[in-house]
Every structure is written in C-alpha cells, then in structure tokens.
Amino acid sequence: MSHFSPATIQFLKDLKKNNEREWFNGHKDDYESLVREPALDFIESMAEPLSRISTEFEAIPKKVGGSLMRVYRDTRFGNDKTPYKTNIGIQFRHRLGKDVHAPGYYLHIEPGECFVGVGIWRPDSDTLSRIRNAIVDKPEAYKAALKHRPFKGFEMAGDSLKRPPRGFDGDHPMIDEIKRKDFIAITPLEDKQLFGKDLTKQIAKQFSAATPLMEFLCKAIDLKF
C-alpha cells in the first residue's frame, strides 16, 4: 500500500510559507490526514522488515514518544523562532537508545530534499571516543563496511573536526574518518518515490544495505545488533 502522497509534500510546502501557529491550528486536520496518519501507518508497516534486519531496533507507531519525531521546534536557543518543522522525521532507533543521538535508521521527508539515513548523529564524547578507537583497532572492518557493495548508494555525511581529536595520530591513514563528529550515511530519495506502493520494501532494502556499518557502530559502543 502507498502511505504518503503528493498532498503530503504540498502540505509541507504550505507550512514552510505559513510557519505560524494560527495557520497551523487552522490546518490541523490536514496535518493529521496528510502527515501524521500516513507516517504512523508507514512506521507500523516497517516493524516486520526491520525485525528481519535486527531485532534490536524498534518501529513504534505512537503519536508521541515513538518513531515519529515532533513537529514542534525547540526555539529556545536559536535565532529561528518559527514554531514548526517543515519536514517529517522518522527514526527507528536502537531499543536501548533514549533520544535521536542513539544508533538508528532514519527517513527524512522534505520537498526536494528527501533522504534515507543510517548511523549515529551527534554522539556524546564517550560514544565518539569508542567509535574512533574501534576504527583505529579494526580499520579493515570499518573500511569493509563502507565498501560493502549494496552500500554504494550511500555517502558519509555530517560534521568533522578541523584538527585530529586529542590522543589520535594526525598521520593515521584513517584520520579523516577519525575526525568525524557524526557517523551517519545518507542516500537521496526523489519525492515521487514516497508515493509508490513498494515504499516499505524499498526503505527496508536501503536499511539492510547498511548492515555492516550499523553492526560496526553498535559493536564499538557495546550494543547488540
């Protein structure tokens, strides 16, 4: 079955043009029918294929506190005070993870900027250190994960340090990987790919392609995969 539709993308475009509470409150029914309900249906449909990849990651179709990320932005610290996110974020995180910084699989829906993501985003310093040390200890395993043939459509993304982290050799052959602050990989999606009946199968296939990387990251921080 299909989950999202062109009307989903149009709603996100309209929200970007009218990112204010009065407009959103007047279009809550549209948000429910075009965004939240299809997102929750998609999350539910991912439970079985995700379990075939790993039983350690969860698909939780809840309105609050599940795999669907909040539409409300945290405006306390940034200059951008617009109240709503103009994308749909869905994260299937490790069952022991507490927040978006846990290992996970991710689907990002934003007009013209949709993508599938995997890995660990903005890990804390201890987690970063463990991953970096794992790369130093087992560089061939890490390189093999990145060169895994089904993974070729992904690219490593996120931020990196300008200088080598303290305690690591700046001349290490893997220094560019060691300098990463995020260990995430993404592959783009066209908006129209969201509308097909095989979306669940397609996303599950892309998640599965990242298995060696996800196994490496989980093992580095002592989590089961």
Which phi and psi (to 5°) does residue 7 adopt?
-65, -30
In angstroms, the CA 138 to CA 163 distance is 22
**Structural domains for the chain:** 6-220 (3.30.930.20)
pLDDT in tens, the chain (225 residues): 679 999 999 999 999 999 999 999 999 999 999 999 999 999 999 999 999 999 999 999 999 999 999 999 988 888 889 999 999 999 999 999 888 899 999 999 999 999 999 999 999 999 999 999 999 999 999 999 999 999 999 999 999 999 999 999 999 999 999 999 999 999 999 999 999 999 999 999 999 999 999 999 999 999 999
How many C-beta atoms surround the C-beta of residue 105 within 10 A?
Answer: 27
* Start-to-end CA span in the chain (Å): 29
**Cβ proximity of 153 and 186 under 8 Å:** no
Closest listed residue to residue 220, CA positions, set 151, 140, 134, 145:
134
